[in-house]
């Protein structure tokens, strides 16, 4: 008799626990789905617009007549770029004393395959 009562209490506890366990995923699922669709919309909006990113690297070439600078840049996690050497377009006025061999910090605007250095300074 005593054991049966105890079993009922334990059973009730298990039912309560499993009820909680079943309820738990539902509220967490909704915000996750909302966040995912927001992120997708944000990603779509961003792909049409220029993305700004900051990076550091070393200047390997400058061509002021072409308006380009080649940077051996470190990884840029904001835009999921690995470290690489690449050429950016740049307005000569932005360079302001930056020369080949300098270690630099820079801001870049990336739109599709076009990348422009918008600010740069030697470190």
**Integer Cα distance of 26 and 119 in angstroms:** 47
Question: Looking at 38-46, 75-83, 91-99, 100-108, which segment touches Cu ion (CB under 5 A)?
Answer: 75-83
Site string for Cu ion, 20-49 (x = CB under 5 A): ------------------------------
- Residue 119 lies near Cu ion (rule: CB under 5 A): no
- Residue 86 lies near Cu ion (rule: CB under 5 A): yes
- Residue 84 lies near Cu ion (rule: CB under 5 A): yes
Question: Looking at 39-47, 59-67, 73-81, 87-95, which segment touches Cu ion (CB under 5 A)?
Answer: 73-81
- Residue 110 lies near Cu ion (rule: CB under 5 A): no
Closer of 15 and 80 to Cu ion (Cβ): 80
Whole-Å CA distances, 96 to 7, 20, 58, 75: 81, 63, 16, 24
Closer of 81 and 119 to Cu ion (Cβ): 81
Ranges of beta strands (E only) in the chain are 51-63, 68-73, 84-90, 103-111, 114-122
Whether residue 107 contacts residue 54, with contact meaning beta carbons closer than 8 Å, is answered with yes
Whole-Å CA distances, 70 to 50, 62, 104: 20, 6, 12
DSSP label of 81: B
Q: Write out the residues near Cu ion by the rule CB under 5 A.
A: 81, 84, 86
């Amino acid at each position: 008799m005593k054991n049966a009562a105890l079993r009922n209490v334990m059973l009730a506890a298990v039912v309560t626990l499993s009820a909680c366990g079943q309820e738990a995923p539902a509220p967490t699922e909704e915000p996750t789905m909302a966040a995912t669709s927001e992120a997708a919309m944000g990603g779509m909006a961003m792909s049409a617009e220029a993305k700004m990113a900051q990076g550091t690297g070393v200047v390997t070439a400058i061509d002021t007549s072409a308006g380009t600078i080649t940077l051996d840049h470190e990884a840029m996690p904001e835009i999921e770029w690995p470290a690489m050497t690449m050429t950016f377009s740049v307005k000569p006025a932005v360079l302001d004393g930056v020369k080949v061999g300098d270690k630099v910090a820079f801001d870049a605007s990336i739109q599709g395959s076009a990348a422009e250095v918008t600010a740069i300074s030697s470190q």
